[in-house]
């Protein structure tokens, strides 16, 4: 039999996905796009129902309680939702409208329209929400409406605002294309990508992944709403698996099983067989089969299929001699919902680190179907994603005991074999690949994707709100409950609380940055009596938190009392994979009395991947104390505005403070990226934050006023 590799079959499915992705965004479709089914017939409310509670409260109801509540909700729904001119119209006085059917993985088209001050959303699997709102209504700016519709507003740990603002003015029809696979959502609004493969968090239970199935809801916040042209395509599991296998990149993944024989494998191979390109444990047999090669940190991808009541295990960092759950770490592969396993310890169900850390249940496909699983192992941390849902995210260094008492020796192993631990059941595994971590240094995206100012300035801060910007704060991630970054009277107010930044959604290149800032009085935490500190990070790339789990890999234009204009190079690491995010530049320097590097035009040329180049006049007696001011400082006195400029021309950087060139670098890598305005435990105000075309920025005449 000729084996069709996953790479070949996945390519076919991906081409199909791309064809669907490129379907035209018509705003008044006469019929459903190919492969899609209408959810709304344009005439009545057939296929829709009223809202009862939420997924958690509905699950707690008896069948009779749910039926009674549904009857009442349907009556209320019909009083406030109706069909007008082929569109669903809501009068703003009732509750959300829900599909009668539940869905798992799907693609959805929906047209929507709101009026002034409108606020709505699309609930996916009964959970909030792909946001919809009036992006020009100032009362909603405090919630981030100015950033646009189409993102997962209730997220905290994952992105919650759109990549770009793509809304049409209120009163006009907009079109969503939404794809949901596992826990991840992608959204296009009016043809523009606004949410790119983002995890949707479970607002009903933050400790659980989003639900595997649920209804779709048209949400309301007491506004008149309109919806039409609602079409859905359920994604088959084979296509979902192909999408999951293509997530991120194939770079660095190597197939460790050829689908034909046990080349590269050892152990009890006589107890296993190869059937249709899969490793299958023989019925009634057991034992362990594992790779000859050993692995330390890695990401593994595979598919598995369970028979009814099936039990097996995935061995990681196994010593190859003892028992995988004792002399390595075993991840359970088991039909968790079979009656014979009803009384297992929670740490024995599917996806669990056997006896050590319990995985979430309810995300396995029915027995006999193939499941897709990704396993990330780095240090003591293990993450298991099943069919696109994160079911285990554990740090085994925090585990103090196993289900049987003392921790087994395998918990402390740093490397070992990868394989399977049979338990007499014909469990099958196929399409097995591994990417060793951290791997080669990451490569930044193409410079061509970055925006270059041409005719006039790009105002990163528009003077009204934080449109085009998002926050990321250590420990809080995408949430900003303390309102560290706000706008008042045409000025960005940075409270300074915590560490993080206000980050541009877009990447930029070849610009003249002008920023005007002044310090406030408040300082925080461990820096309450230290020099007021902040900065602008240039050429940011990689993930948020890629530098010290706080900022991004970047080149900093330092803002600190006595050190405005220092250069800092921040080479980072991916927080998940540990992959290096290289950043570097070349500078001409001398060294001061203390051996610190100081910029000197025509000085010794050095290239650095980390560290600082002091601005030329930084006081050699600089002290990290509040209010410090050196005798040669060119920044403005406390309470006055300081102008900081950065001219980024390819890899050439020039820093200017109040019109004085204070620092310079060459061959910056990368030479483009996002721009981040820091919060670093000191209050600060910013009134100007803009990019000018090279050679066209207005000159500073005198001190900033």
Residue 698, domain member (yes or no) = no
Let me know whether 237 and 255 are in one domain: no
Mean predicted confidence (pLDDT) in 605-631: 97
Residue 148, domain member (yes or no) = yes
Mean predicted confidence (pLDDT) in 505-521: 98
Gyration radius from the chain CA atoms? 28
Let me know whether 349 and 428 are in one domain: yes
**Residue indicated by tokens 């859905």:** 232
Let me know whether 501 and 544 are in one domain: yes
Helix (H, G, I), strand (E, B) or coil at 116: coil
Nearest to 231 by CA among 22, 40, 21, 46: 40
Residue 79, domain member (yes or no) = yes
Instruction: Please check the confidence at residue 11 and state whether its pLDDT lies above 60.
Output: no
- 29/4: higher pLDDT: 29
pLDDT of residue 21: 44
Instruction: Please check the confidence at residue 161 and state whether its pLDDT lies above 70.
Output: yes
Instruction: Please check the confidence at residue 20 and state whether its pLDDT lies above 80.
Output: no
CA-to-CA dists, residue 287 to 155, 292, 394, 579, angstroms: 44, 16, 27, 35
Instruction: Please check the confidence at residue 1 and state whether its pLDDT lies above 90.
Output: no
Residue 3 confidence class, pLDDT cut points 50, 70, 90: very low
State how far the Cα of 677 lies from the Cα of 80, in Å rounded to an integer: 46
Nearest to 83 by CA among 22, 25, 40, 54: 40
Mean predicted confidence (pLDDT) in 471-494: 96
| Angle, vertex CA 220, rays to CA 214 and CA 222, nearest 5 | 155
Backbone angles phi, psi at 449, to 5 degrees: -80, -15
Residue 250 confidence class, pLDDT cut points 50, 70, 90: low
Q: What is the mean pLDDT of the chain?
A: 94
State how far the Cα of 470 lies from the Cα of 508, in Å rounded to an integer: 16
State how far the Cα of 367 lies from the Cα of 390, in Å rounded to an integer: 20
Nearest to 570 by CA among 592, 545, 588: 545
Let me know whether 556 and 631 are in one domain: yes
Let me know whether 73 and 112 are in one domain: yes
Alpha carbons within 13 angstroms on the beta-carbon side of residue 217 total 25
Instruction: Please check the confidence at residue 247 and state whether its pLDDT lies above 90.
Output: no
Per-residue pLDDT of 645-692, as tens digits, reads 999 999 999 999 999 999 999 999 999 999 999 999 999 999 999 999
Which CATH number goes with the domain that contains 304? 2.60.120.560
End position of a domain, from candidates 188, 214, 242: 242
Question: Angle 6-21/237-246 helices, nearest 10 degrees?
Answer: 100
End position of a domain, from candidates 207, 242, 277: 242
Let me know whether 526 and 554 are in one domain: yes
Let me know whether 223 and 259 are in one domain: no
Mean predicted confidence (pLDDT) in 547-556: 97
Name the token pair of 668.
């910056």
How does DSSP assign 562-573, residue by residue?
Answer: T-TT-EEEE-EE
End position of a domain, from candidates 242, 263, 294: 242
Helix (H, G, I), strand (E, B) or coil at 578: coil
Strands 97-99 and 217-220: antiparallel
Instruction: Please check the confidence at residue 437 and state whether its pLDDT lies above 50.
Output: yes
CA-to-CA dists, residue 58 to 3, 126, 536, 695, angstroms: 45, 11, 48, 63
pLDDT of residue 251: 77
Let me know whether 152 and 261 are in one domain: no
Q: Which percentage of the chain shows pLDDT scores above 90?
A: 93
- 188/32: higher pLDDT: 188
Which run of H or of E encompasses 14? Answer: helix 6-21
Residue 332, domain member (yes or no) = yes
Mean predicted confidence (pLDDT) in 88-101: 96
Let me know whether 14 and 160 are in one domain: yes
Full domain range(s) for residue 524: 463-691
Nearest to 272 by CA among 294, 290, 246: 290
pLDDT of residue 30: 54
How does DSSP assign 671-691, residue by residue?
Answer: S-BEEEEEEESEEEEEEEEEE
Mean predicted confidence (pLDDT) in 208-228: 96
Chain-centre distance for alpha carbon 238: 24
Per-residue pLDDT of 30-55, as tens digits, reads 578 999 999 999 999 999 999 999 99
**Residue indicated by tokens 């190079």:** 569
Helical segments of 235-339, H only: 237-246
Mean predicted confidence (pLDDT) in 558-581: 97
Query: How many structural domains comprise the chain?
Result: 3
CB of 657 closer than 8 Å to CB of 634: yes
Mean predicted confidence (pLDDT) in 202-219: 97
List, as own/partner pairs, every contact residues 630-639 make where C-beta atoms lie below 8 angstroms and the sequence separation is at least 24, other chains included: 630/562, 633/562, 633/564, 634/564, 634/565, 634/658, 634/660, 634/662, 635/561, 635/564, 635/565, 636/518, 636/703, 636/704, 638/519, 638/561, 639/518, 639/519
Residue 569 confidence class, pLDDT cut points 50, 70, 90: very high
What one-character DSSP code corresponds to residue 139?
Answer: G
**Residue burial 69-95, b: 16+ Cβ < 10 Å; e: rest:** bbeebbeebeebbeeeeebbbbeeebb
State how far the Cα of 241 lies from the Cα of 511, in Å rounded to an integer: 42
- 32/523: higher pLDDT: 523
Instruction: Please check the confidence at residue 8 and state whether its pLDDT lies above 50.
Output: no
User: Is the CA virtual torsion 604, 610, 615, 617 positive or negative?
Assistant: negative
Mean predicted confidence (pLDDT) in 521-542: 98
pTM of the model: 0.93
Instruction: Please check the confidence at residue 18 and state whether its pLDDT lies above 50.
Output: no
Let me know whether 560 and 687 are in one domain: yes
Which run of H or of E encompasses 67? Answer: helix 63-80
Helix (H, G, I), strand (E, B) or coil at 420: strand
Residue 446, domain member (yes or no) = no
Backbone angles phi, psi at 655, to 5 degrees: -105, 135
Let me know whether 572 and 658 are in one domain: yes
Let me know whether 642 and 507 are in one domain: yes
Residue 17 confidence class, pLDDT cut points 50, 70, 90: very low
Residue 378 confidence class, pLDDT cut points 50, 70, 90: very high
Residue 457, domain member (yes or no) = no
Per-residue pLDDT of 574-595, as tens digits, reads 999 999 999 999 999 999 999 9
Instruction: Please check the confidence at residue 14 and state whether its pLDDT lies above 70.
Output: no
Mean predicted confidence (pLDDT) in 505-513: 98
pLDDT of residue 703: 77
Residue 260, domain member (yes or no) = yes
pLDDT of residue 242: 95
**Residue indicated by tokens 């934080």:** 466
Mean predicted confidence (pLDDT) in 379-390: 98
28-42, 217-231, 603-617: segment of lowest average pLDDT: 28-42
User: Is the CA virtual torsion 9, 12, 17, 18 positive or negative?
Assistant: positive
Residue 415, domain member (yes or no) = yes
Mean predicted confidence (pLDDT) in 256-270: 97
């Amino acid at each position: 039999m000729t084996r069709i590799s996953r790479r070949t079959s996945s390519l076919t499915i991906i081409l199909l996905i791309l064809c669907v992705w490129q379907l035209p965004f018509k705003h008044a479709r006469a019929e459903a796009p190919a492969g899609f089914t209408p959810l709304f017939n344009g005439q009545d409310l057939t296929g829709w129902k009223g809202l009862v509670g939420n997924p958690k409260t509905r699950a707690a109801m008896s069948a009779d309680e749910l039926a009674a509540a549904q009857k009442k909700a349907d009556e209320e729904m019909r009083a406030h939702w109706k069909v007008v001119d082929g569109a669903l119209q809501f009068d703003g006085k009732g509750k959300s409208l829900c599909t009668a059917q539940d869905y798992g993985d799907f693609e959805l088209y929906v047209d929507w329209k709101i009026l002034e001050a409108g606020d709505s959303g699309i609930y996916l699997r009964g959970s909030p929400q792909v946001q919809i709102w009036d992006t020009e209504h100032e009362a909603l700016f405090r919630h981030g409406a100015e950033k646009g519709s189409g993102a997962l507003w209730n997220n905290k740990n994952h992105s919650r605002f759109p990549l770009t603002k793509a809304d049409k003015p209120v009163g006009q029809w907009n079109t969503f294309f939404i794809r949901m696979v596992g826990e991840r959502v992608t959204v296009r609004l009016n043809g523009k990508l606004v949410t790119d493969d983002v995890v949707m968090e479970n607002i009903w239970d933050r400790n659980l992944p989003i639900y595997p199935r649920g209804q779709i809801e048209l949400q309301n916040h007491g506004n008149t709403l309109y919806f039409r042209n609602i079409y859905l395509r359920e994604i088959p599991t084979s296509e979902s698996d192909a999408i999951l296998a293509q997530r991120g990149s194939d770079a660095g993944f190597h197939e460790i099983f050829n689908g034909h024989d046990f080349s590269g494998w050892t152990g009890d191979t006589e107890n296993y067989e190869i059937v249709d390109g899969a490793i299958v444990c023989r019925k009634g047999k057991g034992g362990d089969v594992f790779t000859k090669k050993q692995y330390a940190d890695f990401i593994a991808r595979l598919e598995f299929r369970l028979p009814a009541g099936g039990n097996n295990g995935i061995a990681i960092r196994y010593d190859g001699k003892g028992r995988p759950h004792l002399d390595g770490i075993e991840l359970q592969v088991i039909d968790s919902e079979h009656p014979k396993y009803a009384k297992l310890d929670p740490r024995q169900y599917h996806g669990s680190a056997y006896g050590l850390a319990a995985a979430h249940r309810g995300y396995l496909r029915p027995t006999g179907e193939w499941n897709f699983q990704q396993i990330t192992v780095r240090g003591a941390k293990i993450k298991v994603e099943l069919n696109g849902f994160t079911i285990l995210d554990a740090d085994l260094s925090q585990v103090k005991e196993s289900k049987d008492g003392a921790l087994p020796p395998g918990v402390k192993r740093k490397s070992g074999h990868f394989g399977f631990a049979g338990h007499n059941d014909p469990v099958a595994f196929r399409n097995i690949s591994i990417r060793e971590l951290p791997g080669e240094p990451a490569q930044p995206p193409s410079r061509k994707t970055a925006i270059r100012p041409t005719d006039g300035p790009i105002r990163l801060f528009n003077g009204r709100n934080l449109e085009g910007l998002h926050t990321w704060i250590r420990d809080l991630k995408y949430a900003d409950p303390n309102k560290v970054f706000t706008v008042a009277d045409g000025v960005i107010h940075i409270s300074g609380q915590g560490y993080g930044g206000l980050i541009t959604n877009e990447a930029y290149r070849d610009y003249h940055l002008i920023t005007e800032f002044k310090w406030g009085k408040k300082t925080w935490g461990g820096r309450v009596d230290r020099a007021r500190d902040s900065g602008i990070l240039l050429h940011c790339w990689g993930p948020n938190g890629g530098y010290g789990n706080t900022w991004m890999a970047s080149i900093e234009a330092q803002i600190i009392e006595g050190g405005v204009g220092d250069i800092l190079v921040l080479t980072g690491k991916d927080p998940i994979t540990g992959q290096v995010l290289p950043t570097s530049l070349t500078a001409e320097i001398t060294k001061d009395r203390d051996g610190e590097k100081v910029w000197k035009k025509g000085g010794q040329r050095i290239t650095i991947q980390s560290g600082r180049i002091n601005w030329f006049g930084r006081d050699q007696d600089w002290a990290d104390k509040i209010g410090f001011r050196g005798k040669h400082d060119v920044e403005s006195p406390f309470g006055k505005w300081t102008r900081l400029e950065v001219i980024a021309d390819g890899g050439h950087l020039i820093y200017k403070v109040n019109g004085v060139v204070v620092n310079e670098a060459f061959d910056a890598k990368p030479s483009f990226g996002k721009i981040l305005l820091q919060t670093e435990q000191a209050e600060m105000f910013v009134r100007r934050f803009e990019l000018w075309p090279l050679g066209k920025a207005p000159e500073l005449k005198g001190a900033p006023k």
